[in-house]
Amino acid sequence: MLHPVFAWLSRSQSPPARWDLRHIGWDIERREQLSGQPLSSPALLDWRPDWRIEQWRSEDWSGIRAPRLIIAVGVDDPQMRASLLDAGFGDALSSQVALVELAARMLKLGGGAHAMPRRLHAGPVELDLFHRDGRIEQTWLGLHPREFGLLWRLAETPFDRVTRRDLLTDVWRLDHVPETNSLEVHVSRLRAKLAISGAGWLVRTHPDGGYQLGHEGGASFSVFTYAWRESLDTAEMFGNAAAPLSVLASNRHGAERPHFD
């Protein structure tokens, strides 16, 4: 999976949770100054007084290259926000900006506008990157972040085989194959949630290993049940295999949409 990248300009090692785009699939590049290599990714500038780096304490920003790629966040003074916008910054936002809105504004900046689409379709499921969930028509599936990542990765190369190693690398971000069945457990839970909405056929186990998106021709509950029991993620591989599908899919919800702080 292609992960959009943002630079974090601050004396703090990490953004506070309410601004941390890693929670919705981004990667971070931490920088304390803009000297040397110019920005190639959209950047968040931490404007909180205790964490603002020295370079940003004056109002002389004439030496900054590509300010249009920078969003200053935590700027609670409207006059200062106006000054930053007049100076050519990509945006200036208050401390109360929501994570979903922040991601949307970051993607609109020149460096990140084409990094990743907001929506992707996997059969009848519309995947929404900002909400990290999928829906069939108006019903949200209530996907766990890893379940969302799995389905998004399969949808990037529809009907092609995606190996177990590729999924662990792209979704779990691991550079080795661990001795764990976490992938298989997440696939089975994803299938259970899809099955409740009549799309249990969507995620198929490939005969050579790994997974792929399936075709609607296999859309029967019996086919789904057979694949669930007999594929790589078999009943013996995790402890709650005897639980009915309704239990495995208990995290599915019918709310209008998930919310981020």
User: Do 37 and 96 sit in the same domain of this protein?
Assistant: yes
Residue 49, in any domain of the structure: yes
What single-letter amino acid sits at 79?
A: Q
Instruction: Among 108, 133, 168, identify where a domain stops.
Output: 108
d(C-alpha 76, C-alpha 172), whole Å: 36
CATH number at residue 66: 3.40.50
CATH number at residue 209: 1.10.10.10
Q: What is the domain extent for residue 56? A: 5-108
CB 28 within 8 A of CB 6: yes
Residue 114, in any domain of the structure: no
Average pLDDT over every residue of 119-147: 90
Indicate if the pLDDT at residue 236 is higher than 50: no
Number of domains in the chain: 2
Residue 213, in any domain of the structure: yes
Residue 256, in any domain of the structure: no
User: Do 38 and 137 sit in the same domain of this protein?
Assistant: no
What single-letter amino acid sits at 172?
A: W
Between vectors from CA 123 to CA 119 and to CA 126, what angle results, nearest 5°?
25
**Placement of tokens 């399936």 in the chain:** 214
Instruction: Among 80, 108, 136, identify where a domain stops.
Output: 108
**pTM confidence score:** 0.53
pLDDT digits (tens, 9 = 90+) for 56-113: 666 666 666 678 889 999 999 999 999 899 888 999 999 999 888 888 888 887 544 4
pLDDT digits (tens, 9 = 90+) for 35-59: 556 677 789 999 998 998 876 666 6
User: Do 123 and 234 sit in the same domain of this protein?
Assistant: yes
